Amino acid sequence: MKLIGSLTSPFVRKVRVLLAEKGLDVELVQENVMSPESTVPNFNPLRKVPVMVTDEGESLYDSSVITEHVDGLADPPFMPRHGLERSRVRRDEALGDGIADAGVLIFYERKREPALRDDAWMARQRQKIDAGVAEIGRRLSRSPWLGGDSLSLGDISCACALLWIEFRLPEIRWREEQPALAQWAASIEARESFRATRPPPA
């Protein structure tokens, strides 16, 4: 089994954190998905990372499909097995992924010539990030983890998204504006799984 991705992608980091939390050692094949030489299109027609390639040569994407697979491979589980409780954690994973999606769209838009950038489009993405951050803050004012009393895949996903925002869009100061988030993020970042997957300096 191998994981194709970059050291900076929040979606790849989410998968790598989950693998590390479970003590699973999977080869990371580093790819720049935007490079014309990238092999990603051979594994994912959508040309996105992460992709997990099984020992049988089957590709799994997107990251939420990979996390579902990885969570079943080894204990401890990071989402409940059934029912609404499982859907809640999957929703929280989607919340983190959605924040990261919006951030990545802004990041790509900023790479365009200034005259070609669509400010209204970037403002729309920014609204999603701000509302997502506010939602995580509301939830963490009621319990120490999004999943209740223990770390869940929802927490991992949202933390990977917010840490990526801090890395790539540092003007979004969620840590300073949301003390509950800052405390939660600090305890997550102290975990070995997050330390080991910190992106290289920008």
Residue ranges binding ligand GSH (CB under 6 A)? 9, 11, 33, 47-50, 61-64, 97, 104
With respect to ligand GSH, which residue has the nearer C-beta, 21 or 97?
97
With respect to ligand GSH, which residue has the nearer C-beta, 66 or 136?
66
Q: Which candidate, 7, 9, 57, 45, places its Cα nearest to that of 160?
A: 9
CB of 15 to ligand GSH, least distance (A): 9
Is 52:67 a contact under the CB 8 Å cutoff? no
With respect to ligand GSH, which residue has the nearer C-beta, 40 or 133?
40
With respect to ligand GSH, which residue has the nearer C-beta, 54 or 141?
54
CB of 104 to ligand GSH, least distance (A): 5
Is 106:125 a contact under the CB 8 Å cutoff? yes
CB of 45 to ligand GSH, least distance (A): 11
Is 53:4 a contact under the CB 8 Å cutoff? yes
With respect to ligand GSH, which residue has the nearer C-beta, 48 or 88?
48
Q: What is the DSSP string of 50-115?
A: -EEE-TTS-EE-SHHHHHHHHHTTSSSPSS-SSHHHHHHHHHHHHHHHHHHHHHHHHHHHHTS-GG
Among all residues, whose Cβ is closest to ligand GSH?
62
CA–CA gap between residue 21 and residue 194 (Å, rounded): 9
* Cα distances (angstroms) measured from residue 114 to each of 110, 121, 146, 154: 8, 14, 38, 35
CB of 106 to ligand GSH, least distance (A): 12
CB of 77 to ligand GSH, least distance (A): 20
